[in-house]
């Protein structure tokens, strides 16, 4: 069985069975120190120099997206969302749910975000921008320079869902003036699902403290921010995933650090794209994250390829939801996969594609 899905991904040996190696009750100073070390390292990876500004929740990524809106936004804010797929749409649904005024920049699935898209939103009173920097549905990586410049020009907060981009693409909160970053455990960090993390800028922390209380009690950020100073959480944290985080961060450091790790993902990604193209597969041209490659089909059903890979070869790639299900499949490059695994996948994809195409030709002749 091999997983080329975006998450949970193939795990590394060092993160398997972490509790079997021994663990501490989470209310101890020892556990708190482990947490503080992990979060400091992650803050460094995120390029955020504000101390004690990274919290973690027992939740998947969407829980953190929702909690950010509930804790950080009020009805007197005005948000702008980049909506280029299902994850952009999710921000819109959440803002809608909490009655936060917003507008969105709507992109077709294969439309590249450009500077021009922002023109009509200049000086219109928007104060917070929400973006999924890698829109995982299509794999488009938006240009952080364009987004960051727009936010600075308009004096806006910038909230980034980097869930599927973190540790696959370059990232730097201080450099781009990013005010909140949402990440989660099961993607680039390559550990189990169930932990979401949010990192804040100083000025966004101030906004949280001056906002009215959120509707949620369980995810009230003030409680998390207070506890995190000693590496604690208000309620039982996802302890197992925290031990996995500690293990993977040590492994990343031993393997040469963050930049080397990102380069390894980028190398696998480039290898896949070159080989796939030379085999005749079509890859959309918009700028893409290193996390995944969308492969486009106009002559066979993409979802059929996903299904045969799974049923016949036990290889899992991501289908593409919604209106793109028959046209796109997505291959992830994060997780413990090798060049040999990619060769194997491509060989099988080619075989299935050829078979499906000859079937289609027979249908056409009838
Ligand atoms: C995976 C992902 C999420 C979170 O999805 P969950 O199912 O809640 O973990 C959010 N945003 C993006 C861009 C993602 O790729």
Can you say how many angstroms the Cα of residue 123 is from the centroid of all Cα atoms in its chain? 30
Residue 366: predicted pLDDT: 47
Pocket lining: 184 vs ligand 1, CB cutoff 6 Å? yes
Pocket lining: 131 vs ligand 1, CB cutoff 6 Å? no
Furthest-apart CA atoms within the chain: distance in Å: 73
Pair of tokens at residue 165: 């981009």
Pair of tokens at residue 109: 């699935």
DSSP E strand stretches across the chain: 2-4, 54-58, 79-83, 102-106, 128-132, 134-135, 140-141, 157-161, 180-184, 195-200, 292-296, 315-319, 328-332
Q: How far is the CA of 135 from the centre of ligand 1 (A)?
A: 10
Residue 364: predicted pLDDT: 57
Task: Kindly give the number of the ligand 1 atom that is closest to the alpha carbon of 193.
Answer: 9
Instruction: Work out the end-to-end distance of the chain between its first and last CA atoms, rounded to an integer number of angstroms.
Output: 38
Q: Radius of gyration (Cα) for the chain, nearest Å?
A: 21
Q: How far apart are CA 66 and CA 335, in angstroms?
A: 26
Pair of tokens at residue 14: 């060092």
Count of alpha carbons within 13 angstroms of residue 106, beta-carbon side: 4
Residue 282: predicted pLDDT: 98
Pocket lining: 336 vs ligand 1, CB cutoff 6 Å? no
Pocket lining: 66 vs ligand 1, CB cutoff 6 Å? no
Scanning the structure block, which residue is given the tokens 């939740």?
A: 59
Pocket lining: 132 vs ligand 1, CB cutoff 6 Å? yes
Reduced to 3 states, what is the DSSP secondary structure of residue 244?
A: helix
Can you say how many angstroms the Cα of residue 309 is from the centroid of all Cα atoms in its chain? 24
Testing ligand 1's pocket by substitution, the residue of 5, 57, 61 carrying the most ligand atoms inside 8 A of its CB is 61
Domain 258-365 has CATH 3.40.30.10: no
Cβ–Cβ < 8 Å for 105, 136: no
- Per domain, the residue ranges of the chain are 13-254, 258-365
Pairing of strands 79-83, 134-135: unpaired
Pairing of strands 128-132, 79-83: parallel
Q: How far apart are CA 260 and CA 273, in angstroms?
A: 20
Pair of tokens at residue 37: 């070390």
In 275-306, which positions are buried (b, 16+ CB within 10 angstroms) versus exposed (e)? Answer: bbeeeebebbebebbbbbbbbbbeebebbbbb
Pair of tokens at residue 122: 């200049």
Residue 53 DSSP one-character state: -
Residue 321: predicted pLDDT: 79
Residue 292: predicted pLDDT: 98
Q: How far is the CA of 363 from the centre of ligand 1 (A)?
A: 39
Helix (H) or strand (E) holding 4: strand 2-4
Pocket lining: 138 vs ligand 1, CB cutoff 6 Å? no
Question: What DSSP string describes 351-366?
Answer: HHHHHHHHHHHHHHH-
Residue 359: predicted pLDDT: 84
Residue 361: predicted pLDDT: 66
Cβ–Cβ < 8 Å for 205, 60: no
Q: How far apart are CA 208 and CA 201, in angstroms?
A: 11
Asked if residue 335 has a cis previous peptide bond (ω within 30° of 0), the answer is no
Cβ atoms within 10 A of the Cβ of 190, count? 23
Which residues share a beta bridge with 191?
A: none
- Per-residue pLDDT 10s for the chain (366 aa) are 999 999 999 999 999 999 999 899 999 999 999 999 999 999 999 999 999 999 999 999 999 999 999 999 999 999 999 999 999 999 999 999 999 999 999 999 999 999 999 999 999 999 999 999 999 999 999 999 999 999 999 999 999 999 999 999 999 999 999 999 999 999 999 999 999 999 999 999 999 999 999 999 999 999 999 999 999 999 999 999 999 999 999 999 999 999 999 999 999 999 999 999 999 999 999 999 999 999 999 999 999 999 999 999 999 999 997 888 999 999 999 999 999 999 999 999 999 999 999 987 666 554
Q: How far apart are CA 78 and CA 37, in angstroms?
A: 36
Q: If you count them, how many residues does the chain have? A: 366
CATH topology of domain 13-254: 3.40.640
Pocket lining: 291 vs ligand 1, CB cutoff 6 Å? no
Residue 322: predicted pLDDT: 81
């Amino acid at each position: 069985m091999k997983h080329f899905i975006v998450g949970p991904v193939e795990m590394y040996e060092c993160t398997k069975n972490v509790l079997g190696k021994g663990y501490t009750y989470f209310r101890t100073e020892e556990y708190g120190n482990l947490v503080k070390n992990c979060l400091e390292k992650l803050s460094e990876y995120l390029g955020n120099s504000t101390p004690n500004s990274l919290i973690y929740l027992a939740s998947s990524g969407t829980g953190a997206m929702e909690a950010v809106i509930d804790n950080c936004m009020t009805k007197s804010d005005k948000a702008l969302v980049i909506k280029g797929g299902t994850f952009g749409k999710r921000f819109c649904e959440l803002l809608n749910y909490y009655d936060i005024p917003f507008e969105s920049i709507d992109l077709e699935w294969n439309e590249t975000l450009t500077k021009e898209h922002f023109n009509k939103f200049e000086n219109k009173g928007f104060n917070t921008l929400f973006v999924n920097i890698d829109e995982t549905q299509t794999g488009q990586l938006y240009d952080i320079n364009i987004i960051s410049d727009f936010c600075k020009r308009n004096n806006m907060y910038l909230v980034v869902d980097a869930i599927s981009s973190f540790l696959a693409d370059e990232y730097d909160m201080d450099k781009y003036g990013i005010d909140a970053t949402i990440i989660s455990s099961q993607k680039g960090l390559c550990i189990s699902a169930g932990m979401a993390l949010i990192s804040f800028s100083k000025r966004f922390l101030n906004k949280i403290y001056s906002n009215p209380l959120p509707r949620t009690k369980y995810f009230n950020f003030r409680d998390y921010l207070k506890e995190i100073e000693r590496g604690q959480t208000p309620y039982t944290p996802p302890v197992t995933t925290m031990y996995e985080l500690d293990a993977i961060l040590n492994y990343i450091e031993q393997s040469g650090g963050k930049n080397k790790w990102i380069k390894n993902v980028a190398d696998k990604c480039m290898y896949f794209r070159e080989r796939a193209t030379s085999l005749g597969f079509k890859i959309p041209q918009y700028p893409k994250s290193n996390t995944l490659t969308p492969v486009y089909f106009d002559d066979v059903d993409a979802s059929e390829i996903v299904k045969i890979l799974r049923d016949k070869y036990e290889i899992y790639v991501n289908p593409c939801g919604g209106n793109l299900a028959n046209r796109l499949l997505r291959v992830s490059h994060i997780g413990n996969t090798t060049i040999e695994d990619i060769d194997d996948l491509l060989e099988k994809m080619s075989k299935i594609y050829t078979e499906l195409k000859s079937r289609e030709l027979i249908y056409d002749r009838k």
